[in-house]
Structure 1
Amino acid sequence: MKLRVFISSVQKEFEKERKDLKAFLLGDAFLGRFIDEVFLFEELPARDQKADHVYLDEVEKSTLYLGIFGYEYGYEDIEGVSPTEREYDRATECSIPRLIYIWGRDDVTRSSKMAKLIYKASDQLVRRRVENFSAFTSEVYASIVDFLDHKGVLRIPPFDTATCTHVSLSDINGKRIEWFLEQANAERGFPLNKKSSKKSVLTHLNLLDGGTPINAAILLFSSDPQKFHKTAEIKCVSCHGTIYKRPFASQQIFGGNLFEQADLAKEFVLARINRSVGARKESSQAPVTYELPPAAVTEAVVNSIAHRDYNSNGSVEVRLFSDRLEIWNPGRLPDSLSLELLREDHPSIPTNPLIAESLYLARYIERAGSGTQTIIQLCKDLGLLEPLFEQRGGSFVITLFRKINKDESETLISDPVSDPVSDPVSDPVLKVVFLLEAVALGPSIMMKKLGLKHRATFKKNYLQPALDLKYISQTIPNTPTSPRQKYCLTEKGRAFLVQNKD
């Protein structure tokens, strides 16, 4: 089955979104197998015909109508009807399947005629609200997969939308759902609150199929994703020199959900690269500068998680050498994207849109289609060589080049962590000690100041090691779980702090 998709909206209001949506539909590895053509009126060559006849003829030729209804109603003809409403009516008359997406939630500022069109559409079919392009592509992706499935043309569905075998809602970790809701609400204004049920949250995110969690749900929110998908993990190695060979300086394999994997892989790298501690001129906490931008490391890791081929038996690999960082991602670029285009403005074509949407909502992804450009700019700002983007065999590889910047006013800390399991004073512990130098802090404030998003990562890599080493203690030791609990330095912690001051 080959689809011909007609995109309908007010052209000026969604000029960029229309073009990016077309690129997404044709460029997605899965959807591209079923979509033969995407029609945009603005790309039509001039004809000796009235414009309204042309676009209505194109509606009739389509097999799927995709409407984006925003705040503007658009140009009105002599009868006071816009092309968008004409297109919708013609699709309805011709019984063409229609997918409707309502852009934005501020109905007060919406054109009254557009509001009436939305009401008319709501009487006839299901519609979904979206507020950004990432959410939009996720909704479109899920809707078209569902449409193809109901048509009976899907033999093997795409990985992230396929139902995971032998699972139920009981395999979804409620605490991780709560953390996601708190994060997504604070970062993106996610409409559901912490009291929402697991089912309602997963339904809102399109992560259920007939009440059963799909693969994306398991990777994002399961208590044990590797129980169902063994290779859905990140392998991290630190090499002795510039060549990938054993024995490695250190090696770890991180499982858990995708949020945890991103946090742990980033910390693996940051704990092993050079960084400098500046003078405490403006605050009690000394500024720390890494030789690689932490945000670029995070972006590269999350990029690999969102875009990898989960049907592959390979895993994401993070390889740290003495001169560079390489992140290997099983999979290939979509045909519509080139390596050169990654350095320019380009449409977002995630391999796993449903996974990418949840990462975006938790702000692990900053903005759709901007990841590679962000990495380039962050490296340039630090005076580093431009990153490389390569296709090596069946893997997409991002390379960030290391550079040690020395300054007379700074003290250089060089690779203090060889193995975070056995090393008695790892960098995360040092961060906690510096953080608590002047005042006791609660865990939420500590996480925010450390730039951490996942409580499990904070507790495992930062808080608990510092407690075990007796560098910090609780202010309310008799009630460990008190909501007013804070942490402060011990005498041993202050002695350690003095030893590590510049």
Structure 2
Amino acid sequence: MSIPITIDSLMERNIVEWARIEFKEGWNPDTTLKTISAFANDIDNWGGGYIIIGIEEKNGVIKRPIKGLNPDSIDSIQKSILQFCKYIRPVYIPVTQPVYYENALLLLIWVPGGYERPYQCPKVPTSKNSEKLYYIRKLSSTIVASNADVKELISLSHNVPFDDRMNMNAEISDLKREIIKDYLREVESSLIETVDTMELEKLANDLRIANGPKEYYRPLNVGLLFFNDAPERFFPYTQIEVVNIPDPTGQGMEERIFKGPIHQQLKSALAYIKNNVIAEKVFKVEDKAEAERYTNYSYSAIEEFLSNAVYHKSYQINEPVTVRIEKESIEITNAPGPDRSISDKDIKTFHMRTRRYRNRRIGDFLKELHLIEGRNTGIPTALKAIKANKSPLPIFLTDKERSFFSVILPIHETFKERKSDALDNGVQIAKTKRTREELEKAILKELGTDIMSLKELYKSLGYTGNPSKTFKECINDLITKKKISKTTISRTIFLERKKQ
């Protein structure tokens, strides 16, 4: 079996969090076997981890030049790993592959989260009758599991993440080779060299997107989500719906639905937003060589929040990811909401950190495609981009049941329609106080043939804040005179001028 990710991607591209990578100067069964067992237990649903043998590291710093391993030792180390991993209960065999990095020969060990967890490892692997213990990862360390951790591991054995489960309604042929090929090319995997000649079952096995006995080998849900051209056949409403509502009345509304493999629909939705929604304004500043540039919304933030919505959505819930683009805001929604371990206060203060991911395998694929950030870094990255653009901070919404999660991104202040922008034949609307008669004439003129909400009409006349008592009295007077009509939709009052 080959490892789909390259050593360069692991070391240089920040695709995998450093806590999921462990360096070993040489082969030592005592420490390495415990780390293999801990990654396989995958207590936080990170997706396992990687061990790189041949690199010396101290306090998080790699010692260079990298010495690597003697080529004559590679075969014996791999045989030794196979021998000692049989001491793990139940037996767990990781994937190993010799690789070169900075002209040094290394042994890369891939340890995905195991299907048969929890795993026990001998305390002293070289001793035949050694006590067997549970090991887990805490941050970047391998430790013995506490009694509470052991109980948690046992409970997790009955809860394989949905994206990592076999799909009994699909066949291996539902995994499309061409989509897999495009993915391998994009992540620069070494598997691209043999993808055309390799049997589909072998290819699926190397990517860990299928599982089961030979006579009943089936795709995993994550494989169907990424490598089937119509995943909605298996997971209804697996799509991104982008609704552009330039007018509160719904006039001119445009809806786009993006389907297909989830990484492709995500890219298509982001491209649509970038090309059709994002706008820029340039301001020349005195005594500065460079102009100041601002966009109506931070595209980097939208990219992060929408990618996170695809990542954290439950594909057992038949609801799409939605993007609602209104006049002065964008709202991104997915179901369900954040884990209950994240408090309401954490949500309000943007400190949303979770121990366990809902979709560990989806996260791995999206990271390799550079569509999401590493563990718990997505929101800080988005906030940094928003602040750099000098945009208002986002608003996070959910309910008590955590049935949904919405991110509202307010538009940049310079793109808001101001009262000074409202013109009457090229002349700014007067700021002087109007008489009742003048105000009623202004209302009728502003309405024209349009349908406007009460608040919209008030603002378009040059006022700020909530509609005044005098303004409301004028509206009621015009309704009584049957010059305008009123409609209430979802608690919002809309006004329309009647034809005389």
Query: 1:254·1:261 contact (CA, 8 Å) conserved in 2?
Result: yes
- The runs of 5 or more residues in structure 1 that have no matched partner are 1-15, 22-67, 75-80, 92-96, 280-286, 407-502
Report the secondary structure of 2:192's partner residue. Answer: coil
Q: Which residue of 1 aligns with 2:52?
A: 104
Q: Does 1:397 align with 2:397?
A: no
**Change in CA separation of 1:394 and 1:367 when aligned onto 2, cut-off 3 Å:** same
Q: How does 1:12-91 map to 2 (within 5 A)?
A: 70-72=23-25, 84=31
Query: 1:237·1:248 contact (CA, 8 Å) conserved in 2?
Result: no
Query: 2:235·2:316 contact (CA, 8 Å) conserved in 1?
Result: no
* Counterpart among 220, 231, 236 of residue 225 in structure 1: 231
Query: 2:240·2:320 contact (CA, 8 Å) conserved in 1?
Result: yes
- The runs of 5 or more residues in structure 2 that have no matched partner are 1-15, 43-47, 56-65, 86-92, 100-107, 121-150, 284-291, 416-500
Q: Which residue of 1 aligns with 2:376?
A: 369
Distance 2:354 2:393 in 1: 21
Distance 1:345 1:176 in 2: 34
CA offsets, 1:282-339, max 9 Å, x none? xxxxx99642122221111110111101111222111111111111110132244346
Q: Which residue of 1 aligns with 2:3?
A: none
Q: Which residue of 2 aligns with 1:124?
A: 84
Could you tell me how far 1:128 is from its partner in structure 2? 4.0
Q: Which residue of 2 aligns with 1:207?
A: 209
**Change in CA separation of 1:377 and 1:143 when aligned onto 2, cut-off 3 Å:** farther
**Change in CA separation of 1:277 and 1:382 when aligned onto 2, cut-off 3 Å:** closer
CA offsets, 1:404-432, max 9 Å, x none? 647xxxxxxxxxxxxxxxxxxxxxxxxxx
Query: 1:262·1:298 contact (CA, 8 Å) conserved in 2?
Result: no
Q: How does 1:120-269 map to 2 (within 5 A)?
A: 120-125=80-85, 126-128=93-95, 139-140=112-113, 144=117, 157-185=160-188, 190-196=189-195, 197=198, 198-210=200-212, 211-241=217-247, 246=250, 249-269=253-273
Q: Which residue of 2 aligns with 1:273?
A: 277
Q: CA RMSD in A?
A: 4.6
Distance 2:111 2:352 in 1: 20
* Counterpart among 339, 344, 351 of residue 358 in structure 2: 351
Distance 1:226 1:338 in 2: 33
Report the secondary structure of 2:260's partner residue. Answer: coil
Query: 2:330·2:410 contact (CA, 8 Å) conserved in 1?
Result: yes
**Change in CA separation of 1:265 and 1:152 when aligned onto 2, cut-off 3 Å:** same
Report the secondary structure of 1:192's partner residue. Answer: helix
Query: 1:163·1:209 contact (CA, 8 Å) conserved in 2?
Result: yes
Give the number of the structure whose alpha-carbon radius of gyration is greater. 2
Between 1:375-384 and 1:118-127, the stretch displaced more is 118-127
TM-score scaled by length of structure 1: 0.52
Q: Which residue of 2 aligns with 1:333?
A: 338
Between 1:304-313 and 1:388-397, the stretch displaced more is 388-397
Q: Which residue of 1 aligns with 2:390?
A: 383
CA offsets, 1:218-250, max 9 Å, x none? 111102111222211112212234x6x756611
Report the secondary structure of 1:123's partner residue. Answer: helix
AA of the residue aligned to 1:167: A
Report the secondary structure of 2:393's partner residue. Answer: coil
AA of the residue aligned to 2:409: L
Could you tell me how far 1:162 is from its partner in structure 2? 2.2
Could you tell me how far 1:104 is from its partner in structure 2? 2.8
Q: How does 1:422-441 map to 2 (within 5 A)?
A: none
**Change in CA separation of 1:345 and 1:303 when aligned onto 2, cut-off 3 Å:** closer
Distance 1:123 1:82 in 2: 10
Distance 1:395 1:152 in 2: 26
Distance 1:105 1:83 in 2: 14
AA of the residue aligned to 2:387: K
Distance 1:219 1:333 in 2: 22
Count, aligned residues: 314
TM-score scaled by length of structure 2: 0.52
Q: Does 1:291 align with 2:291?
A: no
AA of the residue aligned to 2:368: L
Q: What is the percent sequence identity of the aligned residues? A: 17
Distance 1:184 1:247 in 2: 43
**Change in CA separation of 1:166 and 1:87 when aligned onto 2, cut-off 3 Å:** closer
Query: 1:390·1:396 contact (CA, 8 Å) conserved in 2?
Result: yes
